[in-house]
Chain A
Amino acid sequence: MTEKLVIIGNGMAPGRMLEHLFEKAPGRYAVTIFNAEPRVNYDRIMLSPVLSGEKSYEEIVIHGDGWYIDNGITLYKGHRIVAIDRAAKTVTSDHGVTESYDKLVIATGSMPFILPVPGHDLPGVLTYRDLDDVQAMLLAAQSRDRAVVIGGGLLGLEAAAGLRERGMEVTVLHLMPTLMERQLDPAAGYLLQRAVEERGIKVITKASTKAIHGDGKVESVELENGTIIPASLVVMAAGIKPNAALAKETGLAVNRGIVVDGGMRTSDPDVFALGECAEVDGRVYGLVAPLYEMARVAAAQLAGEGQASFVHSDTPTKLKVTGIDLFSLGDFADGDDREEIVLRDAASGVYKRVVLKDNRIIGTVLFGETMDGAWFNDLKKKETDISEMRDTLIFGQAFQGGSPMDPMAAVAALPDDAEICGCNGVCKSRITGTITAKGLTSLDDVRAHTKASASCGTCTGLVEQLMALTLGDAYNPAAVQPMCGCTELGHDDVRRLIKAKQLKTIPAVMQELQWKSSCGCAKCRPALNYYLVADWPDEYADDYQSRFINERAHANIQKDGTYSVVPRMWGGVTSSAELRAIADVVDKFAIPTVKVTGGQRIDMLGIKKEDLPAVWSDLGKAGFVSGHAYAKGLRTVKTCVGSDWCRFGTQDSTGLGIRIEKFMWGSWTPAKVKMAVSGCPRNCAEATCKDVGVVCVDSGFEIHFAGAAGLDIKGTEVLGLVKTEGEALEHIVALTQMYREQGRYLERIYKWARRIGYDEIRRQIMDDADKRKAYYDRFVFSQKFAQVDPWSERVSGKDKHEFRPMAAVGFKEAAE
C-alpha cells in the first residue's frame, strides 16, 4: 500500500530528497507538498544572478510543473501550514486544507533576521530570501534611486552588487570592522571591501543601525553615531534564523533549529526535518551542500534504509558576484597551535592564506585567484600531511612536483575523488565517468546527469576543463548544434553561406553545402525555405512543399484534421459590418466554434479543408484578409483605446497599432511575432510581454522588445524612447528586419535577443542611424513581394489541388 508523505516547504532540500526517494523507492509514497511560496522548487542560490540580470527566473527553476505531474505529487502553492496535529497525524494550511500523513517532513528553511529598530516595518524595507523579494527589489530599482543594504555578508554583498548593476546608488552598512568576517580574515575582508567599492558601492563598516525613518515609506537610515543616509529602499541582510516556530508549537524538540538525529528524525519518529530549519549534532547550516547531504540521508531513511546517517563536513563559501573571486573554507582563527602561510600580490590584488595545524590544512582563504580551491579542499578533507610541499604549497597545485602546470594539467592532476562541485558533492571521477558512460558532449548534459555546476555555478570552469580532458578534441565548448540530421552545419553557418555563396534554391543549398540526405527533412526544409525567402525576397520562388501545412493551407490545422480561420482585425478594431459578415459565414458553413482570441480577433474553428476557399471568398467580400494566425510571421498588433477614448491615454495607441500592422503584415519571420501598443504605462494592451511592444508616454513612445508569455514568461527589454509615431514605426521595422536576417528558424525574438545581446541590438537600432535605415529599407523592399493576401489568391484558384481530394472512389454512386 502506498504511504502518505506530507512535506512542509518546497525548497532545495526537500526537492533533492524527493529525487533520491523516487529513485530508491518509486511508488512507495503518495507525496503532498505545501509551500508558502506560490511556486515550484527553484535554485534559491541563483537569485543573485536573477537580481543582477545575468539569469532569468525560468533558468533557475529546478523542478518545473511537469515534474510534479510526472511524479504524482500534489503541490499546494501558496499554502502555509499553520498547524500540525501529531496525535491525529494531520497538517492544516492557512487556506483551510487539512491533509493526513503517515510520514511528515518539515523543511521550512530559514527566516531572514530583521533588526528590531524603529521603522523596520516601513514599506520599502525588504529582506532577501525569495523570488518575491527579488521582484520587489527590481521594482524599487527602476527608480534608480538610493538603496541601503544592512549586512555585509554573502547575501548583503550579492544584493548590493545586483542593485548596483540595476542602476541604484548603494550603501552597505556592516556592523563589524571588516566584511564577511565570519568567512574571511581581516586582510581578505579589506581586499573584498576595495573590490566592492570599485564597483561604485559605498561601504560603511562598524555601522550600527539606530532607526529607519520615513513618512509612510522609507526615506532614510540613521546610524548610532547620528549619520543619516537617504534611501528609498532598505534591504535587511543581517543574517538568518532557522524557521522552527511551527515545530516548536507542536511540541517537537527545538533548540536553535528543529533537533534531529543523524537519520534526520525529530523527537517524533514519524516526523523528519531537514534543510536550514534542522539542527543536527548542535549545528545548523546555511549552505546547500550539507542540506543535500541531509536530503540523501532523509530519502534513504524514508526508503527504509535505517543505517543512513548524516556526516558533517565544512563547505567552502564563494561569493557570486561576477568579477570578484573569493573562496573560504574551514577555520582560520589565530591560535598558538597553528601556523599559517600567506601569499600577497598587491599588484594583481591576490591574497592567499592557508592555516595549518600539525602539518594539515584546517582553513583556507583565497582572494583574487581561486583556481586552487578544489585542491586545498581536497587536501583538507583527506587531512594530507603537507610537510613535503610546505615551501610551495601556497603557490598552488601547479607548482607541485617541478615545473608549473597549465590549468588543464592541474585539473588532470587532481585525484579522482577530489570534489569538483561543492554544492552537490560531485567528485572528479563521477563527472569523467558519467561523460564516458553516457557519451555526454555538452555542459548542459553533464549538469543534467551529474548535477555538477548545476547549483551555484562557480565550478563551471572546472567542469568544462574536465570535459575537455575527457573528450579531447571531441569537446568543443562552442560546438554548434547542427540544424538537423541532414547536415553538420548549424543554422548560423547555413544562413551565412546562403548569402556568401548566393544560394537561391533549396536544391542549390543542399548541393553546395553537401546535405547528407537527398531532399532534406521536415526540420531543415522549412528553415531553408524561410532563409531563402528572407534573403532573396525578389528572386526566390517560395517552395510551398517545404512549408508546414498551416502555412501551405493558410489556416491552422486542428487535432481532428479540420482547420481554423482567423481574419485580420487591424489593431483589434472591428465594425458591425465585419461582425455581420462573420456571423453569416459561420451560419452558412455551419462552423461549430467561434472564439475570441488572445490577440483581439475572432477565430472560427472546425472548418473542413474543402470549404476553406469558399469561406475565404465570403470573408474577402466583406473586406477581410488573412490574419496569418498560422504563420511564422507578423500575427497581431494588440492595442488599447488610447487617447481616443481613455482618460489616461497619452497617444493614439490604436492608430499606431493599426499603422504598424498595415505596414508589416505579410512579412515572414523566423518565428511568430506578436506586438502590442498601450496608450500609457497602465499598459492595458500588455505590451511588455510581447515580441515587440510600445508603451506610449507623454514624451513619446517607449519601444520594448524580447518579451515572452508562452512556454516561458519574460518581461520585455526597453529598446529606447522615440518622439514621433513615424520614428516608432521605423525603429520597430528595423528591429524586426534585424531579427529576420539573424534569427534561427523557430527562434523567438526573446531568444534571439538573448543570444545577440540586448546592448548590441540597441546599438544597431537606436544609436546607429545608418544601420537602422538600411534594415528599414530592406524590410520595405521585401514587403513588395510579401504583401499579397494569400486568401484572395487562393479564392482565385491558386494551389487548387491543396484543397480538394484527388478522387472519391468506392462509394455506391461512384461505383456504378
Chain B
Amino acid sequence: MNAVTVNWIAIGAVEDIPPRGARCVTTPQGRIGVFRTAEDQVYAIEDHCPHRGGPLSQGIVHGASVTCPLHNWVISLETGEAQGADEGSVKTIPVKVEDGRLFIAIEALATEAV
C-alpha cells in the first residue's frame, strides 16, 4: 500500500560523509547514495547509474554532480538527470538536515521504487 504521509528516517550525521564525497544507505529496494558537496549541501539519489547500473556513490563529486566510476557519465544530484550528451535519470530521494542529523523520506522511495 502506498503511504501518503512522508516518513523521515534518520540515517546518521552530515559529519559522517566526507565533503565532496558520498556514503551509501542500504534499503530493501536497493542502495541509496547520500552525497555531501563542498558547500555542505546533502543530496540522496538511487545508487544506480542510468547507464549500466554503476554505483554512483563511488564516483567523484564536483559541484552538485557526481561522475559515475564506471564510464564517466555525469549525474546531477539535484535532479537525478544525466548531464551533457547522455540521456537517462535516477530517482532523487528527499533529504532533510536537522541540527546536523540526516533524514531521508523512505516512503517516497518505497512508493516510487516498487
Contacts and interface: CB of A to CB of B under 8 A. Distances in A.
Given A809-B27, A810-B27, A557 B106 contact: no
A546 B106 CA distance: 30
A545 B11 contact: no
B106 to A, nearest CB: 5
A805 B25 contact: yes
A520 to B, nearest CB: 5
A363 interface: no
B17 A520 contact: no
A806 B24 contact: yes
A548 B60 contact: yes
A806 B60 contact: no
Contacts of B29: 810
A73 B108 CA distance: 50
Contact of B62 (A521, A544, A548): A521
B55 to A, nearest CB: 4
Contacts of B27: 808-811
Most buried by A among B17, B23, B74: B23
Contacts of B23: 801, 805-806
B34 A806 contact: yes
Nearest to B26: A808
Contacts of A561: 53-55, 58
A518 B55 contact: no
Given A808-B27, A809-B25, A559 B19 contact: no
A174 B39 CA distance: 77
Interface in B57-93: 58-63, 67, 69-70, 72, 74
Interface centre among B10, B21, B39, B60 (most CB of A within 10 A): B60
Contacts of A553: 58
Which of A517, A548, A550 has its CB near the most chain B CB atoms (within 10 A)?
A: A548
Contacts of A559: 52, 70
Interface string A93-115: 00000000000000000000000
B16 A801 contact: yes
Q: Interface extent on A, as a size class?
A: 20 to 34
A308 B63 CA distance: 57
Contacts of A544: 18
Interface string A801-815: 100011111110000
B36 to A, nearest CB: 10
Contacts of B54: 561
Interface string B36-58: 01110000000000001111001
A519 B69 contact: no
Nearest to A562: B55
A549 B28 contact: no
Contacts of B69: 548-550, 557
A807 B11 contact: yes
Interface residues of B, number: 41
Interface in A340-393: none
A519 B26 contact: no
Contacts of A517: 62-63
A522 B60 contact: yes
A521 B67 contact: yes
Given A522-B72, A806-B25, A810-B106, A801 B60 contact: no
A632 to B, nearest CB: 14
Interface centre among A805, A808, A811 (most CB of B within 10 A): A805
Contact of B18 (A522, A557, A560, A801): A801
Contact of B20 (A519, A557, A809): A519
A9 to B, nearest CB: 38
B39 to A, nearest CB: 8
A526 interface: yes
A560 to B, nearest CB: 8
A525 interface: yes
A811 B27 CA distance: 6
Contacts of A550: 69
A285 to B, nearest CB: 43
A561 B16 CA distance: 22
Contacts of A807: 10-12, 25-26
A448 to B, nearest CB: 19
A545 B61 contact: yes
Contacts of A547: 60
A545 B69 CA distance: 13
B28 to A, nearest CB: 5
B59 A549 contact: yes
Most buried by B among A521, A544, A549: A549
A552 B67 CA distance: 14
B6 interface: no
Interface in A759-816: 801, 805-811
A521 B110 CA distance: 32
A61 B106 CA distance: 55
Interface of A: 517-522, 525-526, 544-550, 552-553, 557, 559-561, 801, 805-811
Given A545-B20, A805-B24, 8 more contacts: A519-B20, A561-B54, A801-B18, A801-B23, A805-B25, A806-B24, A806-B34, A807-B11
Ordered nearest first, which 10 A-B pairs have the shortest CB separation? A522-B67, A806-B23, A549-B58, A807-B11, A545-B20, A522-B60, A549-B69, A561-B55, A810-B27, A808-B26
6 contacts: A517-B63, A518-B38, A519-B38, A522-B72, A801-B16, A810-B109
